Chains A and B, each alone.
Chain A
Amino acid sequence: ELKVEQNPLFLSMQEGKNYTIYCNYSTTSDRLYWYRQDPGKSLESLFVLLSNGAVKQEGRLMASLDTKARLSTLHITAAVHDLSATYFCADSNFGNEKLTFGTGTRLTIIP
């Protein structure tokens, strides 16, 4: 059974702090996606990680991929309130177009 597990499921953090969201997946795929969803809104693509060791950064967010460990991380640096949202990782099933999404991590940034 294909599984994508995220932790933590809920995260409250203070502004200015750093934290990491973890995404473990069960397939041998080398493609991993990160999305953001604001309450009541659609999903917005953040990163596409296409190979082992891939690292991408956008603003205060940095994502990385370790295909050998089947682990991706989303690191938040010096959090600001605007980053409050639910973050999903998604694994491509054995390299095809079908994605399996994780449960999501609801991030709340506290002033």
Chain B
Amino acid sequence: DAGVIQSPRHEVTEMGQEVTLRCKPISGHNSLFWYRQTMMRGLELLIYFNNNVPIDDSGMPEDRFSAKMPNASFSTLKIQPSEPRDSAVYFCASSGQMNQPQHFGDGTRLSIL
């Protein structure tokens, strides 16, 4: 079975540029989560969707960040404009039922110069 698929795996870009991260959840999973992992702050939930609807975006750091889930098989996390402090590993995860674990993608390692 295919797991959660994220792209790109690595992204290096200059400050001020727009960055778009992509995620394909596991088929049949109805919840999708975006996390950010840094050494300083650990693993933080940014936003999560249930049945394509954003449920909790309280972790989104500021207006530069936005996320969409236009259908059950695709989600994007966009940063515009990007800043060096956004450098981190961004993970997408999905789950099917509340008592089941979240399954994580391989992550996108983002570096903003």
Contacts and interface: CB of A to CB of B under 8 A. Distances in A.
Nearest to B102: A99
Contacts of B105: 42
A97 interface: yes
B107 interface: yes
Nearest to B50: A97
| Interface residues on chain A, size class | 20 to 34
Given A43-B104, A97-B31, A104 B98 contact: no
B106 interface: yes
B101 interface: yes
B42 A104 contact: yes
B45 A45 contact: no
B79 to A, nearest CB: 21
Interface in B51-109: 55-56, 91, 93, 95, 98-107
B43 interface: yes
B91 A42 contact: yes
A50 interface: yes
A48 B105 CA distance: 19
Contacts of A43: 43, 91, 93, 104
Given A48-B99, A50-B99, 13 more contacts: A31-B99, A33-B102, A43-B43, A43-B91, A43-B93, A44-B104, A97-B33, A97-B48, A97-B95, A99-B102, A100-B45, A102-B42, A103-B42
Interface of A: 31, 33, 35, 41-45, 48, 50, 88, 92, 96-104
Interface of B: 31, 33, 42-43, 45, 48, 50, 55-56, 91, 93, 95, 98-107
The 7 A-B residue pairs with the shortest CB-CB distance, nearest first, are A45-B101, A101-B43, A43-B104, A42-B104, A42-B106, A48-B101, A103-B42
